[in-house]
């Protein structure tokens, strides 16, 4: 039986070099031209059948015989975020205002290393492996739906994905059956009042005060209208109004997010937001716009596949833990909506290496030694699924 952790360790330095190259040249969602070309260059000398520009900017690489046994897909994302890299490291981003602040560079380095191992051990294949390199995960509508629509999952039996996670200790493996990550909806609200002089508020309809009333009222939706055992979050990330201290503006705007696992809870919150605005409109003679955008589906792991991940980690003598239920979103959910499979986290947080910063922080980094744990877990999953 192949020692996949040893195999991954032997490729660790090359994998780190790949990750650091990608980290220095990040590209935002749906703009990943050079990253796409780099992945193709790394794959072209391997024995894969390659489809490029899948969906929009995705790559699907297949090795093995789909008729010989099961076909398992593994996915990595490769887009970056509009964040200025503030780390003082040699591999700091060279692209102003763009940064791999979520670990997608590591995900891509991991899957390229899996590709090399599959190429080197293709004589052991009893089925086929499909590697999905996905663009645009960070920005809705995401890349998963486009790739699925363009047959990225054609002939695939199950699908697995991974995320390096700075909130978990380096090398630990985490997953859970059923709900794991939430649906991240977005909303944008504009209140239309009547502006005027700050010294004469009685002659105005104060859009700022009404928006403040709305924001405070929404905090009762979760705490007082939902069953306490149901999980939900309503958060505001942006408020904008006015240009001067002595002018009450005509309009006030806010943007925020709703996070849920249950479609009925999501609909309940959306209805309550609308009713709050309707009530404020009647009481204050305002009008409003509500733009509510449904986010990615919640991530629901299939029980048998989550058990495969757990068995893989335990067989490799890694530290396995059940994952926390998280309110973050991931468009890997669409793959799991189409096929059985599971998503799991690999811990990459290490305070001694300053890799415990939160995701999307300008100081975010990964403990690169964590990548070999994902590589070997992926390979062990393929083994347990009967592909190797």
C-alpha distances in Å from residue 11, one per residue of 255, 372, 373: 44, 8, 12
Which phi and psi angles does 203 have, rounded to 5°?
Answer: -95, 5
Model pLDDT, residue 1: 82
Model pLDDT, residue 369: 98
List the pLDDT tens digit at each of the 388 positions of the chain: 899 999 999 999 999 999 999 999 999 999 999 999 999 999 999 999 999 999 999 999 999 998 899 999 999 999 999 999 999 999 999 999 999 999 999 999 999 999 999 999 999 999 999 999 999 999 999 999 999 999 999 999 999 999 999 999 999 999 999 999 999 999 999 999 999 999 999 999 999 999 999 999 999 999 999 999 999 999 999 999 999 999 999 999 999 999 999 999 999 999 999 999 999 999 999 999 999 999 999 999 999 999 999 999 999 999 999 999 999 999 999 999 999 999 999 999 999 999 999 999 999 999 999 999 999 999 999 999 999 9
- 337 annotated as ligand-binding: no
- 104 annotated as ligand-binding: yes
Domains of the chain, earliest start first: 4-180+298-385 (3.40.630.10), 183-293 (3.30.70.360)
Model pLDDT, residue 66: 87
Model pLDDT, residue 361: 97
DSSP for 131-192, please give it: EEEE--TTSTT-SHHHHHHTTTTTT-SEEEEEEEEEEEETT-EEE-SEEEE-EEEEEEEEEE
Nearest CA to 115 out of 375, 371, 381 is that of 375
Alpha-carbon dihedral 52, 60, 81, 262, rounded to 10 degrees: 130
- 102 annotated as ligand-binding: yes
- 163 annotated as ligand-binding: yes
Active site residue 331: no
Across the chain, the runs of DSSP E, i.e. the strands, are 49-54, 58-64, 71-77, 128-134, 158-169, 173-175, 178-181, 183-192, 196-197, 232-241, 247-248, 251-260, 287-293, 299-301, 320-322, 341-349
Which listed residue (32, 137, 367, 385) is catalytic?
Answer: 137
Instruction: Give pTM, 2 decimals.
Output: 0.93
Model pLDDT, residue 153: 98
Query: With contact defined as beta carbons under 8 Å apart, do 85 and 79 qualify?
Result: no
Residues 6+ apart with CB under 8 A from 358: 166, 167, 364
Model pLDDT, residue 67: 87
Active site residue 79: yes
Which listed residue (32, 77, 79, 385) is catalytic?
Answer: 79
CA distance 247 to 57: 47
| Strand, coil or helix: 282 | helix
């Amino acid at each position: 039986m192949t020692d996949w952790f040893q195999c991954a360790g032997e490729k660790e330095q090359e994998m780190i070099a790949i990750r650091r190259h990608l980290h220095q040249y990040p590209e935002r969602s749906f703009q990943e031209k050079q990253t796409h070309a780099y992945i193709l260059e790394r794959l072209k000398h391997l024995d894969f059948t390659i489809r490029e520009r899948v969906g929009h900017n995705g790559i699907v690489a297949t090795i093995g015989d789909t008729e010989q046994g099961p076909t398992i897909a593994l996915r990595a994302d490769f887009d970056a975020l509009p964040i200025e890299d503030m780390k003082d490291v040699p591999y700091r981003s060279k692209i102003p205002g763009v940064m791999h602040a979520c670990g997608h560079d590591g995900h891509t380095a991991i899957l390229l290393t899996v590709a090399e191992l599959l190429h080197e051990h293709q004589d052991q294949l009893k089925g086929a492996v499909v590697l999905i390199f996905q663009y645009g995960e960070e920005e809705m509508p995401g890349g998963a739906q486009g790739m699925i629509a363009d047959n990225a999952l054609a002939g695939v039996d199950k699908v697995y994905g991974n995320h390096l996670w700075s909130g978990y200790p380096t090398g630990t493996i985490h997953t859970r059956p059923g709900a794991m990550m939430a649906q991240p909806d977005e909303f944008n609200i504009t209140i239309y009042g009547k502006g005027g002089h700050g010294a004469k508020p009685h002659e105005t309809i104060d859009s700022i005060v009404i928006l403040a009333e709305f924001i405070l009222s929404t905090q009762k939706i979760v705490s007082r209208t939902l069953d306490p055992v149901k999980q939900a979050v309503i958060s505001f990330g942006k408020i904008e109004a006015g240009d001067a201290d002595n002018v009450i503006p005509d309009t006030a705007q806010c943007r925020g997010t709703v996070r849920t696992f249950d479609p009925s809870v999501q609909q309940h919150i959306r209805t309550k937001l609308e009713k709050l605005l309707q009530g404020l409109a009647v009481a204050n003679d305002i009008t409003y716009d509500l733009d509510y955008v449904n986010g990615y589906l919640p991530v629901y792991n299939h029980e048998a596949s989550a058990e495969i991940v757990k068995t893989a980690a335990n067989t490799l003598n890694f530290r396995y833990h059940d994952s926390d239920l998280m309110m973050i979103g991931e468009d890997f959910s669409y793959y799991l909506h189409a096929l059985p499979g599971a998503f799991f986290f690999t811990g990459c947080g290490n305070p001694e290496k300053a890799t415990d910063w939160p995701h999307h922080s300008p100081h975010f980094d990964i403990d690169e030694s964590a990548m070999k744990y994902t590589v070997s877990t992926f390979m062990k999953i393929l083994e347990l699924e009967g592909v190797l």
